[in-house]
Amino acid sequence: MSELLRLSGVHTHIRRYHILQGIDLVIPQGQTIMLLGRNGAGKTTTLRTIMGLWQASRGEINLAGERIESRSTPDIARLGVGYVPESMAVFSDLTVKENLVLAARDGPLDDRQLDWIFGFFPALRRFWLSRAGSLSGGQKQMLSIARAIIEPRKLLLIDEPTKGLAPAIVMALIECLKEIKRKGATVLLVEQNFFAARELGDGVLVMDNGTIVHRGEMAALAADVPLQERLLGLSLEAHQ
């Protein structure tokens, strides 16, 4: 399986704090890799560094063979990287439609792609002309993910999509992400909901103190309770 993304010895400093301390990871094409770890381990910083929102102070980031660690965020996005931040960051003053029009950078909205998205998130069709700021938290998350998949992307970076959402909405999101996966997308997914992680992950990376401390199959980690407790300080079962 060919690799799509490779980080080699990546360090990131945020002001005087040394957050990422030599990250090495590989994301194979077409795989969904879960990035797990305690709060403050550096998961969000890893996604933001890949996206160019924080500059790596050392190390290499290769996307499909191209060095991107010195590129600007818009350039990285134009290489086909979609980003769903933890805060969702929908443009609340814009309508649902306007949010998606902006996300469809390369042209008008594709009706077939829209219908596919509406299949998972019917609320977006219903509230098409409503201001995004008036959507519920779950609907905003749907919009945030829809924005990332409105056009084909090589790589999706998704940061805690299920955080703070009602169980029914979490299930809808998991189904959507599974379908995105079935379509062959490559995803690096930060997730605290271990049920979602187990459902979606092909591989898993566990972070602690700015480094990768474990890499392997998601299914293997899900089956190994002592390993979960050692790596994460709790078992997956305890955190569903």
Partner 1 sequence: MTDLAATDPLPKPKRDLAPILLPIALALAMIPLVGSTSSWLTLTAASLAMGMMIFIMASGLTLVFGLMDVLNFGHGAFIAVGAYVATLILLPFAASMQVDSLWMNLAVLAPAALLSMAVSGALGLVVERVLILPVYGQHLKQILMTTGGLIVAEQALYAIWGPQIIPLPLPASLRGSLVIGDVAIAKYRLLAMLVGLVVFIAIQLVLNRTKLGLLIRAGVENREMVEALGYRIRRLFLGVFMTGSALAGLGGMLWALYREQIHASMSDDLTVLIFIVVIIGGLGSIGGCFIGAILVAMVANYGGFLVPKLALVSNILLMVAILMWRPRGLYAVTSR
Instruction: Provide the binding-site residues for partner 1, judged by CB under 8 A.
Output: 51, 53, 72-74, 77-78, 83, 85, 89, 91-94, 98, 101-103, 105, 121-123, 126-127, 130-131, 133-139, 142, 147, 164-166, 168-169, 172
Cβ at position 178, least distance to partner 1 in Å: 17
Hey, what are 7's tokens?
């980080």
> With 0-12 CB in 10 A as exposed, 13-18 as middle and 19+ as buried, what is 86?
middle
Q: Quick one: residue 191, left, alpha or beta (phi over 0 = left, psi -120 to 50 = alpha)?
A: beta
Whose Cβ is closer to partner 1: residue 147's or residue 181's? 147
Choose between 45 and 228: whose C-beta lies nearer to partner 1: 45
Contact (CB, 8 A) for 143 and 99: yes
Structure tokens at 234: 């709790």
Nearer to partner 1, 165 or 218 (CB): 165
CB of 123 to partner 1, least distance (A): 4
Q: How far is the CB of 231 from partner 1 (least distance, A)?
A: 29
3-state SS assignment for residue 34:
strand
**Both structure tokens of 103:** 């996300």
Which of 156/212 has CB closer to partner 1? 156
